[in-house]
Structures are given as C-alpha cells and as structure tokens.
Amino acid sequence: MKAAGDGPWLDDAAGRLVRPFTVSDGRTRPTVALDLLSQVRATGATPLGYLGPEHAQALALCRAPVPVAEVAAHLRLPVAVTKVLLADLVECGALTDRLPAFHHNPTDRALLEAVLDGLRRQL
C-alpha cells in the first residue's frame, strides 16, 4: 500500500521500491560542490531533457531557498544521492546554489549562539 503523497516509489510495507543508486544513475559524486547547509532555490527555468521523478520532487521543494540536508530529508534519500540530483538541476539551470555565509568559519561564536537561541525557542 502506498503512503499518501509518496507516489509509486515508496510502499508502506516494503519501503523504497527503487534503490538510491538507481535514482542517481549509479553516480556517487555531484558535479557541483554542495555543502549540507548550501541553500538551493529554483530559478523558474524549465530543465531540458529527461528528469526522473526525484528530480521533479526536489525542484518542487526548492521554490524558496532550502538547505540540501532538508531536501534530502523530504525526499527520504541519502544526502550523497540528493547532492547528485541537485547538482544535475544546478547544471541545467533549474536551480541556483549558495554556500552558507559561515562556510569558511563553521565554529563562529555568533553562529553557534544563534543556533542555541533557536533551539531554546523550540523547547
């Protein structure tokens, strides 16, 4: 039985019906350098050529800027596979990517304090 909104690729009893490596055509490395926190956003350009259902799902998730890790979570795919899919979309002009502002200094005190404040608000 299919889970609502998951389409033909997920099954409640069996799980994912298509192996992740088939989603990325066996590729394990993205052609564009993407960080887990890189922001990706749809450009509005129509991608040329065939895109698999996961490409279309990823593109739909990126109407507003969203981190790569969040896209992977929504797609229920490993991050490495998600990065390959997103890199395909960046290369064809359907997505733009932007590294996080703190990518050169991930232990920036202001960043860590902002994360801590956000966590405290959630609790």
pLDDT at 83: 93
Rounded to whole angstroms, the Cα distance separating 36 from 56 reads 20
pLDDT at 6: 46
**Assigned domain for 33 exists:** yes
pLDDT at 9: 53
**Domain count within the chain:** 1
pLDDT at 23: 67
Could you tell me whether strands 95-98 and 39-42 are parallel, antiparallel, or unpaired per DSSP bridges? antiparallel
**Assigned domain for 32 exists:** yes
The 10s digit of each residue's pLDDT in 33-49 is 888 888 999 999 888 77
Whether the Cβ atoms of residue 7 and residue 53 lie closer than 8 Å to each other? yes
Q: Which residues contact 61 (CB under 8 A, 6 or more apart)?
A: 70, 71, 74, 75
pLDDT at 28: 67
**Assigned domain for 53 exists:** yes
pLDDT at 4: 40
Mean pLDDT by 10 residues, the chain (123 residues): 46 54 68 87 86 89 93 90 92 88 67 82 80
- Residue 74, φ and ψ in degrees, nearest 5: -65, -35
**Assigned domain for 47 exists:** yes
Q: Report the CATH number that the domain containing residue 70 is assigned in CATH.
A: 1.10.10
- The residue range of the domain holding 33 is 22-101
**Assigned domain for 16 exists:** no
pLDDT at 103: 58
**Assigned domain for 3 exists:** no
